Amino acid sequence: MSIHTLIIGAGGVGNVVAFKCAMNAETFGAITLASRTLSKCDAIAANVRANTGVEIATAKIDADDTEALIGLIRQTQADIVINVALPYQDLTIMDACIATGVDYLDTANYEHPDEAKFEYHEQWARDEAFREAGIMGLLGSGFDPGVTNVFIAYAQKHYFDTIETIDILDCNAGDHGYPFATNFNPEINLREVSAKGRYWQRNNNGDGEWIETEPMAIKQVWDYPEIGPRDSYLLYHEEMESLVKNIPGLQRIRFFMTFGESYLMHMKALENVGMLGIEPVEHHGQQIIPIEFLKTLLPDPASLGSRTQGKTNIGIVAHGLKDGQKRTIYIYQVSDHEQCYTEVMSQAVSYTTGVPAMIGAKLMLEKKWYETGVHNMEEFDPDPFMEELNRQGLPWEVMELESPEALRVE
Ligand code: NDP
């Protein structure tokens, strides 16, 4: 049976997914890239053809329109839909997959455009409908969420009887030379970092609770291998929501991301003048949403690739018990922005998201990861995914640490 793959979203991540699926064409078969702006799909298809020799089809789609999606899925005879549009489109695309009986994968959980709040609730609620349709939905198959969940499942499988604490550490030491730009969709990025921080821990009664902090209130300095010490701020991040359910015995989980002083200064100023607002404001008789207008002004993340230098390092520090002994394991992956660009014409943030999206879809098509219903990454055997990471451009390392604080400088 010949396979048909439909990729939705022609941004930075969509570009990487298109390249990587084409580089694994024996698995993905006939590939179609669809997005709101057809010219972006055509430009990516031309680059994919020039670099890999593989021809991919393109289509125009408004992924907010479930009926239009159903039509496109039928027309392309898709066996799987890889959703790398924006989190706002998750539910319409999932509903179209239910209606057509086609497997689904995404890299970010659903967000309502009018409310800066992201959670799995509405996607998990479709679990039964996915089971009834006999299809699988894989949620959050990017890097974080995505590979971080797989790293934790791998630590759990091979290094621990019980994981007690987890710190997820996300460092981007890339420099694009602009005073201010975001490495992926500015709206999603700025909504994420201007939100309150949150981490989870078990209280004295053994009940898990979320502790909220002011945005960027907790700063620690971690020493990232191949990069060095960087200011890292506690943020809420979506993979924690599924991990607290799926890692038994967990006592605490936190997420840290690095930000430079210049980035934070710009962000604070933009926030103070109202440019991060998501409510419409009237301007010369026209309604505009400040953060959408800001997106128009900022460099397109897809254009940063050719000018970004430096590395990313994303990993997890897990601490817990093995055979009654305490131990700490660090699993991490380092990518180089320029190397990523040389391979697929995208910087490392898009690369480290797009490659795992392709790998998740590959394992689903090969039925190595396959269970009907809606699932998160840590529910599956991590080993085949970890092998693919090494094979497909995201090699990782495991390090035994003396303590969970061993990489911390301040
Ligand atoms: P971009 O903004 O670069 O690209 C998004 C693409 O989706 C654009 O091509 C855009 O349209 C298209 N799109 C938006 N709305 C619609 C619509 N209604 N119908 C059809 N297409 C639409 O974002 P990125 O590529 O940087 O990010 C893609 C996804 O990856 C996001 O969901 C983001 O949150 C996620 N992500 C996940 C990470 C992880 O590690 N898990 C890390 C980074 C990102 P158009 O064709 O008009 O340009």
The string of DSSP letters for 153-200 reads: HHHHHHT-SEEEEEEEEEEE--B-SSSS--SS-HHHHHHHHTSPEEEE
The parts of the chain modelled with pLDDT lower than 70 are: 1, 116
Residue-level pLDDT at 176: 92
Residue-level pLDDT at 285: 96
- Looking up tokens 């479709």 gives 126
Tell me, rounded to whole angstroms, the distance of Cα 144 from its chain centroid.
5
Report which DSSP code applies to 310. Answer: S
**Residues β-bridged to residue 197:** 213
Closest-CA residue to 299 (of 199, 403, 184, 191): 184
Helix axes 261-272, 186-193, angle to 10 degrees: 90
Cβ 382 under 6 angstroms from ligand 1: no
Q: Respond yes or no on whether the N-terminal peptide bond of residue 395 is cis (omega within 30° of 0).
A: no
Structure tokens at 301: 């993340």
Report which DSSP code applies to 274. Answer: T
For atom 8 of ligand 1, which residue has the closest CA?
Answer: 11
Tell me the pLDDT tens digit for each residue of 240-254: 999 999 999 999 999
Residue-level pLDDT at 116: 66
For atom 11 of ligand 1, which residue has the closest CA?
Answer: 36
C-alpha of residue 11 to centroid of ligand 1, in Å: 5
C-alpha of residue 108 to centroid of ligand 1, in Å: 10
Residue-level pLDDT at 184: 74
Tell me whether residue 71 is exposed, middle or buried, using C-beta atoms within 10 angstroms of its C-beta: 0 to 12, 13 to 18, 19 or more.
Answer: middle
Tell me the pLDDT tens digit for each residue of 372-384: 999 999 999 999 9
Max distance between CA atoms of the chain, in angstroms, equals 68
